[in-house]
Amino acid sequence: MPDTPYRAMRRTKIVSTLGPATTDHATIRALAVAGVDVFRLNFSHGTHEDHAARHAVIRDVEAELGRPIGILADVQGPKLRVGTFANGRVQLTPGAPFRLDLDGAPGNETRVSLPHPEIIAAAQVGSTLLLDDGRLALRVCERGPDFLLTEVVVGGPLSDHKGVNVPDVVLLIPALTDKDRVDMAFALDLGIEYVGLSFVQRPEDVREARALACGRAWIMTKLEKPQAMDNLHEIITLSDAVMVARGDLGVELPPEQVPLAQKRIIRMARQLGRPVVVATQMLESMVHAPTPTRAEASDVATAVFDGADAVMLSAETAVGSYPREAVAIMDRIVRRVEEDEVWRRQMETSSPEPDHSVAGAIAAATRQVAATVDAAAIVAFTLSGRTALRIARERPSCPILGLAPNDEIARRLAVAWGVQAISVGQETPVHTVESVVDQALAVAKGDGYGIVGDAVVIVAGLPFGVAGSTNTLRVATLT
């Protein structure tokens, strides 16, 4: 692949996690050239210094390539774990009793510390506890003020500090821990675009994060708890973007329910006009292999057919042996799907009902007009990014150029389906319909999105410069 900036005619975006395998400038640049639109910094691992160094490299690469690149700071969330064992590990036998308690002493084959009183308080007789990413299962038989007596349902080895999942209980713990608050403040000061909010159970979790962000970044809610599915509409409404985090979701939901949950989340996110990312194990075998399995390729394609805004690589690029190849193959899979006529028809027929607002009506009309005049591009003047998101929700067949007032908004749109964001700044402010049209045509032509004679559909709000005032649609011709 030539080492030149790419201009993605690909609609579905790619998110890539950085880690020990992807720290230096040359590697991160290679990933961006291969097709990454958003880089993820995983605050479950690494130090603040590590993340600051990667952030600086991303911004250098962004300047070199001349296109906005988004950065997602994914905070860890509450990690529930058992304590330690006297010998480091034990073997749990199906049918045997096993006690979880608040005693911090090292455990053995009959008990272990569970330093989370909120789990003990919330669990009921009959509740299920899953340990070590769901490999072991316990059923609660008795509950006391400081212990749970359980029966081993699925046995196996259990070692120090393995994770605990409680799929059928709402735990009264905040989604943001003290560590997350420190990490979030650090990431916001760096100047990231999205905060990934882990283990959300209730709408209140999202409200808390929004209050802390105070508009400095978009909140990307990770949907990985069954309890969040019970409040899905309100949680997505409160979020700026969402992620189908299939790792923990797959631990707490039966495997056969995860694909249905994925489709439901994507469908509702699109209906509400929120970008949605599908994540976890998409090309997992490429952690160690230079090519994916056919099932993994189909998994990526399914997310694209479902209408996801973005697909994400995790361990594949964070610790894998073939990070650039993983991005390149994901790019190829996405592009091939988007060349398919069935995919195009599916995007058109799955368009949700317009919301009942002037801006919603304008966005729906934009797609129809662009299709009727065979427009080369849609140019959306978007002060906050919302106008571009409304048009992306309609899944038009031509590119969407999101003209943003600054780099910050342009970078936030890096995750949005079909949007190629451009920071036009405030050097040449536009105040009239004529000046709006002139600037839109100049950008479309200058960036190679059409030739003389092509139609361009222009969307803006007048009076210009007022967020949320999208009310104008014009068709103009490139000259």
What CATH number is attached to the domain comprising 360? Answer: 3.40.1380.20
Predicted local confidence at residue 109, as pLDDT: 95
pTM value? 0.91
Looking at the structure, do residues 69 and 159 belong to the same domain, yes or no?
A: no
- In terms of domains, do 265 and 404 share one? no
**Do 424 and 304 reside in the same domain of the chain?**
no
Same domain as 398, residue 291: no
**Comparing C-alpha atoms, which of 174, 180, 177 is closest to residue 195?**
180
The first and second tokens of residue 291, run together, are 């090519």
- Clarify whether residues 41 and 102 are in a common domain: no
Query: Domain count of the chain?
Result: 3
Element (H, E) at 212: helix 203-213
CA–CA gap between residue 368 and residue 374 (Å, rounded): 10
Asked if residue 1 is part of any domain, the answer here is no
31, 108: one domain: no
Cβ proximity of 97 and 86 under 8 Å = no
| 260-306 pLDDT tens trace | 999 999 999 999 999 999 999 999 999 999 999 999 999 999 999 99
Phi, psi of 341 (to 5 degrees): -65, -35
* CATH at 122: 2.40.33.10
In a domain, 259, yes or no: yes
> CB count, 10 Å around CB of 224?
26
pLDDT of residue 47: 96
Same domain, 161 and 186: no
Q: Looking at the structure, tell me whether residues 226 and 330 fall in a common domain.
A: yes
The pLDDT value given to residue 26: 98
- Looking at the structure, tell me whether residues 215 and 73 fall in a common domain: yes
Residues 326, 236 share a domain: yes
Structural domain includes residue 138: yes
- What per-residue confidence (pLDDT) applies to 8? 54
CA distances from 418 to 37, 101, 345, 365, 388 (A): 11, 51, 16, 17, 9
Task: Please indicate, yes or no, whether residues 362 and 430 belong to a single structural domain of this protein.
Answer: yes
Asked if residue 71 lies in contact with residue 194, where contact means CB atoms within 8 angstroms, the answer is yes
Question: For residue 418, what are the contacts with CB-CB under 8 A and spacing of at least 6?
Answer: 11, 392, 395, 396, 399, 400
In a domain, residue 42? The reply is: yes
Q: Is residue 7 included in any domain, yes or no?
A: no
Q: Where does a domain end: 339, 363, 380?
A: 339
The rounded average pLDDT for each run of 10 residues, N- to C-terminus, in the chain (479 residues) is: 50 98 97 98 95 98 96 94 95 97 96 95 94 94 96 97 89 91 98 96 95 97 92 97 92 90 96 96 97 97 97 97 98 97 91 86 94 95 93 95 94 97 71 82 88 94 70 92
Residue after which a domain boundary falls, among 105, 130, 165: 165
pLDDT for the residue 4: 37
d(CA 46, CA 43): 7
Q: Does residue 355 belong to any structural domain of this protein?
A: yes
Q: Out of 165, 187, 211, pick the residue that ends a domain.
A: 165
Cα 103 to chain centroid, rounded: 38
DSSP string, 232-260: HHHHHHH-SEEEEEHHHHHHHS-GGGHHH
Q: Do 275 and 296 sit in the same domain of this protein?
A: yes
Q: Let me know: does 210 contact 186? Beta carbons within 8 Å.
A: no
Catalytic annotation, residues: 40, 81, 222, 280
Residue 436 has what pLDDT?
84
What is the tally of helices (H) and strands (E) in the chain? 17, 21
Is residue 6 one of the residues assigned to a domain?
no
Domain containing 143 equals: 89-165
Residue 452 lies in a domain: yes
pLDDT of residue 2: 37
